Chain A
Amino acid sequence: KAGVTQTPRYLIKTRGQQVTLSCSPISGHRSVSWYQQTPGQGLQFLFEYFSETQRNKGNFPGRFSGRQFSNSRSEMNVSTLELGDSALYLCASSLGGASGANVLTFGAGSRLTVL
């Protein structure tokens, strides 16, 4: 079955602009989590959505937001971009249950460069 698909794969923005990233989960997966990966901070959790509701949130400013649609596809938005937002943004999908079988499958990521 198809894996987690993220679009766009690469994008360049300038400071002050906003960006929207998209994630299509594996068919049947209802949970989508977002992570930011940078050389300095590593992998950091942004937020998780399940059945169109934000279920968990990391320690990021309000400029970072997301949503999930009824087909489980998710988008994340970053407004008023700063240079420090340059990163690889990873999306992961899972069945969403509480059991240990709830394993995350990651997409290839969207690499954002802010100039």
Chain B
Amino acid sequence: AQRVTQPEKLLSVFKGAPVELKCNYSYSGSPELFWYVQYSRQRLQLLLRHISRESIKGFTADLNKGETSFHLKKPFAQEEDSAMYYCALRGAGGTSYGKLTFGQGTILTVHP
């Protein structure tokens, strides 16, 4: 069975402070990991995925297979980063396609 755990339901930081949203997963193979974000009154949208190894809006995430983690980090948080963040996993092997397993989400609030 595959599982995604986001231990923090709420996370508050001040503008300019570093932020780290934690994500741990349980999966027997090599999954694909994603971070999705939902800003207030907007649709759920992809923020980044581990295979791209990219930085989006200053956020990065590294897949640590040893610790089965995919934490999302940003060195200097901005007020516009306030949103709900979901970590998601797709199973390997090419059969999961559109099936994602989501964590429960973390609400990030960045205070001025």
Contacts and interface: CB of A to CB of B under 8 A. Distances in A.
Contact of A92 (B51, B96, B98, B105): B98
A44 B43 CA distance: 16
A102 B105 CA distance: 22
B32 interface: yes
A58 B45 contact: no
Contacts of A44: 102
Main secondary structure of the interface of A (DSSP, over half): strand
Main secondary structure of the interface of B (DSSP, over half): loop
A43 interface: yes
Interface stretch (A13-21, A77-85, A103-111): A103-111
Interface residues of A, number: 30
Interface of B: 32, 43-46, 49, 51-52, 86, 94-105
16 contacts: A3-B43, A31-B97, A33-B97, A33-B98, A35-B100, A42-B102, A42-B104, A50-B97, A55-B97, A56-B96, A56-B98, A94-B97, A98-B94, A99-B94, A104-B100, A105-B45
